[in-house]
Each structure stands twice: as C-alpha cells, then as structure tokens.
Amino acid sequence: MDVVEVTPSPEQYAYTFGGVAPLMRVRPGTAMRLWSDDAFGGALRSVADLSSEKVDLRFVNPQTGPFYVEGAEPGDILAVHLVALEPARDWGASAAIPFFGGLTSTDRVATLQDPLPDTTWIYELDRVRNTVTFVAGSSDFSVDLPVEPMLGTVGVAPPGGEARSSLVPERFGGNMDTPQMRAGTTCFLPVFVEGALFSLGDGHYRQGEGEACGTAVEGAMTTTLIVDLVKGGAPAWPRLEDDTHWMTVGSSRPLEDAWRIGQVELVRWFGELYGLAPMDAYQLLSQITEVPIANVVDANYSAVVKARKSLLPRASAYGGLHDDLRARAATLR
C-alpha cells in the first residue's frame, strides 16, 4: 500500500476549517503521512521565548491540509484512521499565554484581574526512553513523562458556508484536544461539503485531560493515517472508535452542554449498534460510560463519552470499518 507524503511549507498552512482551497485531492482508502507544525508554528524554542512576543495568536494551530476526498458528499461519513504518530522534533513547548487557558480569566471569562505571568516551558524529548522532561521554572523539580502522542485537531469543513478557526472544536471536529486522538483510533466525521476537506494538526507529545493551561506539550508531528469514506449515515457529531471503546465527542459551552451532546450522541449510536430504544440506551450508558474531559480552554469546551467494548456484546459499526482499517494499517509498517 502506497503512502502519500505531505510536508506543507509555512505559506501552505491553513488556519481555518472551511474557507481554504484544497491542498490535494485523495481517493478514499489512501494512506498518507502528514507532517504538521506545532501549535505555535515552531516559534517557542526556549523558555526565553514568550508567547506574547513570539506568537501571533491569529495564526496558531496551523493545519496540514485541507484534503479533498473524492466522492465525499454532504451526509457521508469521513473515516480518518490514525496509524502512527511520531514526534517530528526533539522538543516540545508549552506556555501559559496571557488570558488564555483554564485557570485564568480570558477574553470570554472576562475579569479585571492581571494576567498570569507569561511563561514558557520546554520539554526535551528522549527518543530512546520515549519520554519528555518537565523542568520546573521556579524550583529544581523535574520529572520524565512518557510520550503519548496525539493530535489536538482533526476536522472537516463546517456546514452553512462557515469557516472556523483551527482553535475551535465543533460538530465538524476541529480542535477537540482529546488524548483519545492517537494511533489506533478511527475518527468518524460528518461530511458537510463536497470533498469533506479534512485537515489536521496541533500535535501533542502528551496532554492531560482538560489541557488546563491551554497548551499541551506542543510538538511538530508526523502522522500516518488512512482516510476512508462511508456513503450516507453521517452522525450529528464526531465519533471515535478504537479497539477498546465506542466514543463520542461533544463540544460547546458551558461544559455540561459538551457532555450532553456527547452522551446523547452515544445514546443514538447504541440505538444503531444494539437496537436499544433511547430510554434503554440512556439507562445502560448511565451505568457504564467513562467521561474524560478533553479540554476546558478552547472557544468551545470538549468532553468525550466512552463505552468499553469488553462490557458489551460484540457489535460493529459501519460494516466493521475500524477493524478493517486496523488490518490495512498493519500492512503499512
């Protein structure tokens, strides 16, 4: 199986979902290896690089793409199966950007207080031990943390002629910022425009749930994926599947609405998977869901609602596409 390799030049970076001409056309079933820059466009390289000086917040989360998927029409489902995520630099960066993040006032949670100090942390990558190192700025504490690569951002063009910032998660996917978006996961996205126009970026070498300070261990990433298409049947919101879980992602404000969206969407999916009536799916899921918060920092907050497959009878979604993609992925390496 051939792999299409794409490394965009900075002038090719996309900063919105929608509103950008496709970088390339691909057929369903194509395997791709995409290089994506980090959320800061590589601007933070030492703790002396402050986000207020080095980062233009109108141009963050550069996307690699968008890709026009042939045959994709509104109402279809785009499947993006993540095969491998590999750090593309030897360091990651994180920052407390003034008035951005979860434990500070922001342009929306507006207060009259001073911002938190503009601070940058650099995480050196140890490829042998597969760790990144947190080094405290105000004491001599440091700790090695496992690399657990993920993508903050995977999405398609939104409906209704909108173009949305790559900082925003919504029903089109986008900046959902969940650690579930990792190798082995298949992301099912509703298609809203001809060609779907998917893109991705915002690689994280690791991230806690909630992404509290607003930035993860941000790093350039090489993502290997297979893109595929299911005709018709688009879900209302993104769904994820991996070998262990059925998952949905809701994104809105306040956070309970993000959760509601995800929980309702999983009720719907369980209707499809198990023929459960909504009240029965509501009840069953009430007793089994795992609900890790994804982010509480973006323009919309995101929550993931998960059901563990091992608790449930065997079922398959979209003709067993996830298993099929896993098998195809195995031939890539």
Residue closer to a copy of itself (CB basis): 4 or 130? 130
Min dist CB 52 to a copy of itself, Å, is 15
Per the structure block, which two tokens stand in for 146? 């496992």
Per the structure block, which two tokens stand in for 301? 């907050």
Residue closer to a copy of itself (CB basis): 35 or 59? 59
State whether the Cα torsion 99-100-105-108 is positive or negative: positive
The C-alpha atoms of residue 315 and residue 332 are separated, in whole angstroms, by: 26
Q: Which residue is listed with tokens 């949305």?
A: 164
Residue closer to a copy of itself (CB basis): 28 or 149? 149
Min dist CB 273 to a copy of itself, Å, is 11
H or E stretch covering 204? strand 198-204
Residue closer to a copy of itself (CB basis): 83 or 122? 122
How far apart, in Å, do the first and last CA atoms of the chain sit?
Answer: 10
Residue closer to a copy of itself (CB basis): 83 or 285? 285
Residue closer to a copy of itself (CB basis): 30 or 104? 104
Min dist CB 84 to a copy of itself, Å, is 21
Min dist CB 46 to a copy of itself, Å, is 15
Residue closer to a copy of itself (CB basis): 109 or 327? 109
Min dist CB 59 to a copy of itself, Å, is 8
Min dist CB 49 to a copy of itself, Å, is 15
- Sequence-distant (≥ 6) Cβ neighbours of residue 326 within 8 angstroms: 81, 184, 243
Per the structure block, which two tokens stand in for 85? 């995520």
Min dist CB 47 to a copy of itself, Å, is 11
The C-alpha atoms of residue 244 and residue 119 are separated, in whole angstroms, by: 38
The C-alpha atoms of residue 18 and residue 171 are separated, in whole angstroms, by: 13
How many whole angstroms from its chain centre is CA 4? 21
3-state secondary structure of 144: strand
Q: Which residue is listed with tokens 């009840």?
A: 283
Min dist CB 209 to a copy of itself, Å, is 4
DSSP symbols for 69-111:
ETT--TT-EEEEEEEEEEESSSEEEEEE-TT-SSSS--SSS--
The C-alpha atoms of residue 95 and residue 40 are separated, in whole angstroms, by: 10
Residue closer to a copy of itself (CB basis): 30 or 120? 120
